[in-house]
Amino acid sequence: MIKTESAIPIIAVSYYSLKKGIADVYMRKNMDTKLDDEGNTIYTADEIYFQVLQNVTKEYIEANFDEFWEEETGVELTEIEKLEQILADLTEIMLGV
C-alpha cells in the first residue's frame, strides 16, 4: 500500500482493461484533501494495485470493496467494520436493492 497524491479528485476504483483478458486495478481508501505550500488543493488516499482477469468486473470489485482491500493488503477488517458490512448486506437484501 502506498500513499498517493493528485491534483484532481481521486476515485475509489480505477479499472483498466489490458490485452490477454487482464485488467489493472487501483483501489483507494481513506481519501482526504490538503493544501500545498501554494494553497492548491491536493487529494490524497491510501492506494493498492493488483491485476485481475477481466471476468472480474469493476462493478464487482466496487460491490465487494472491503473484501478486495483486505485480501490485497492483508489488513483484516475490525469487528465493527465487519458488523457494519453485515448490516449493509442485510439491509440490501431486505430492501431488495
Say what the pLDDT of residue 24 is: 92
Full-model pTM: 0.71
DSSP assignment of 37-61 equals: TTS-EEEEEEEEEEEEETTS-HHHH
Say what the pLDDT of residue 47 is: 95
Tens digits of residue pLDDT in 65-97 = 998 998 887 655 567 776 777 787 788 788 875
Give how many domains the chain has, as a whole number. 1
Which domain, by its residues, includes 80? 2-95
Joined grid coordinates for residue 72: 490485497
| Nearest residue to 81 (alpha-carbon basis) of 69, 93, 96 | 69
Tens digits of residue pLDDT in 10-69 = 999 999 999 888 899 999 999 999 999 999 999 999 999 989 888 999 999 999 999 899
